Amino acid sequence: MKKIALLFAAASLTALASCGKTDNGSSSSSETNAVSATTTSLSETTAANTSAVSSTITTVTDTTAALVTTETIQPTVDRTSTNSESNPESNLEIQNGKSVEVYAAATASDVWGGDIADLLEPDKAIDTSDIGSHEVVVSCKKGDITEQIKLIYQVVDNEDPILLNAGWSPCHVVNTAFNLSNYVGFADNYDRHPVLTYTGTVDANKVGEYPITATVTDSSGNSVSWDLTIKVADSVPSPQDNNPRVNFNDFTEKYAGEGRRFGIDVSTWQGNVDFNAVKEDGCSFVIIRLGYYYSKPVLDDYFKQNLANAKAAGLDVGVYLYTADYTEEGVREHARWIAEELGDTKLELPVAFDWEEFTNFQQYGMSIHDLNQLYLAFADELSKYGHKSMLYSSKNFLNNFWYESSKAAHPVWLAHFVDETDYTGDYAIWQASCYGKISGIAGDVDMNILYKPLPLE
């Protein structure tokens, strides 16, 4: 972890029980790796014609902390006073504080480094939305003196970018322009535009295999590297489907257990569905694709038909939206569109947010934080229309992309096509296979297990 020492600058001191606010401005140090600061002293003077004691407040020069390589630095303290005849010094000294990670839910106590005064507002929230120098005014107390301190702290990014798609033995067509970004996917928690580079040579005009080392670096200098081989060939081979199909009855028998229900999810790819036959085969719920978004929202060709027929067959129904949107207003508009399309239809299961464009995630100019915020905005907008939300995602991205707070906010629909999932997080529904066979559907269908009791609020 990078270690950055922070500076606490004292400002706007008040005496006794009186507190005053000061100018929030600050100036940067002119010398790298040097820290200077000033503090004030309290001057007591007798007010004219009274016996009361008042405080004279000195001018304070605030200095932003420089980045250093050690945890603590003893700053130079320059006490000044507006009263040359009386200058009792305050015991409050400038202290070096602590850095805080970007986007952390932090308070003043997390960056407070002072041990010569009591922090009176330890739970005061601080801004961690951007890296760099920040400040917050907090109250502290030393003896009988209560003062307001302009607390200057640094927000840092110490997290490496993450690899979403390592390339999976990419095959590039010979005599076409080569761009590694077309074959890999990556993201950073903060930086919306991390930089992809690689070492090695790829001759896009010559058939062959070319080993390279790729690196993604964010704006704070954090990086991740991996090895891959680019195959340059005359054509890209077609993927082979050798996956065995599973009958729905066998599926339900294998995973039968107390509090479990079994269902499917469908879209236009399943064509005309006989939901009465689906139900007779043991299916109790269905999640229907309402639509999808790339450049505009499009209603699934079979949505209205599927919704009406599934309801008529007595199945519990949820819906999902496949989206590639990357703006908050966009996902909120999608939520309003969903609510309009549903009208007064009552759903037994939530509306699932389905964002799967991770293969070349970097093309959207988003950070990991951004997409987590989009999901929460989508759920927030839907709630205004009385609809519940759910997050659909694979095990890989649930582990590496979605925040714990995002997953805890609403139920999770886990996609993991294995016999036994080893995902350790909470989930309400497990999509266990995409090669199901069930009565009423001619082709393949996804098969799901719904666990009860469910946190479907």
pLDDT, tens digit, 9 for 90 and up, residues 140-162 = 888 888 888 788 899 999 999 99
Per the model's pLDDT, the better-predicted residue between 387 and 44 turns out to be 387
CATH 3.20.20.80 spans which residues of the chain? 246-451
pLDDT, tens digit, 9 for 90 and up, residues 299-354 = 999 999 999 999 999 999 999 999 999 999 999 999 999 999 999 999 999 999 99
pLDDT given for residue 329 in this prediction: 96
**For residue 113, which of 75, 78, 145 has the smallest C-alpha distance?**
75
Question: What is the number of H-type helices and E-type strands within the chain?
Answer: 8, 26
Determine the average pLDDT of the residues in 367-381.
98
Q: Quick check: 37 pLDDT over 70?
A: no
Spatial contact of 148 and 135, defined as CB atoms under 8 Å apart: no
CATH topology of domain 162-233: Immunoglobulin-like (2.60.40)
**Chain-wide mean pLDDT for the chain?**
82
Determine the average pLDDT of the residues in 177-181.
97
Determine the average pLDDT of the residues in 120-137.
92
Spatial contact of 324 and 371, defined as CB atoms under 8 Å apart: no
pLDDT given for residue 96 in this prediction: 57
**DSSP character at residue 363:** G
pLDDT given for residue 164 in this prediction: 95
Could you say which of 3.40.50.300, 2.60.40.10, 3.20.20.80, 3.40.50.620 is the CATH number of the domain covering 246-451? 3.20.20.80
**For residue 64, which of 157, 156, 154 has the smallest C-alpha distance?**
154
CATH 2.60.40.10 spans which residues of the chain? 162-233
**For residue 264, which of 429, 394, 396, 453 has the smallest C-alpha distance?**
429
